[in-house]
Amino acid sequence: MTGEISIDGVFVPTLLLLGILAMLLTMALARLFNAFGLYRFVAYRALVDLCLFILLLGLLAWATPSIGFHP
């Protein structure tokens, strides 16, 4: 993934935008996991959150060419 997106003439790396989106999705899923009490089944909550972020970032990076963002 070597693309950049121009926002008002400023080139922003696509991976940075995907990272921000993955962080927002991770925060939303963490709230859902906490609301449903799913964190009581894991020993290290921070490790689960980190793995969830990495999985979401990889999924977004894999899915971007199929939704129209081509590098």
Summarised one tens digit per residue, pLDDT across range 55-66 is: 999 999 898 876
Summarised one tens digit per residue, pLDDT across range 45-57 is: 999 999 999 999 9
| Stretch 64-70: mean pLDDT | 68
Residue 36 confidence class, pLDDT cut points 50, 70, 90? very high
Q: Are 53 and 26 in contact (CB under 8 A)?
A: yes
For 12, the enclosing helix (H) or strand (E) is: strand 10-13
Taking CA atoms, 40 is separated from 16, 26, 62, in Å, by 32, 18, 31
For 17, the enclosing helix (H) or strand (E) is: helix 14-35
Q: Would you say residue 5 has pLDDT above 90? A: no
Those residues with Cβ within 8 angstroms of residue 70's Cβ, 6 or more apart along the chain or in another chain:
3
The predicted structure's pLDDT at residue 27: 97
The predicted model scores a pTM of 0.83
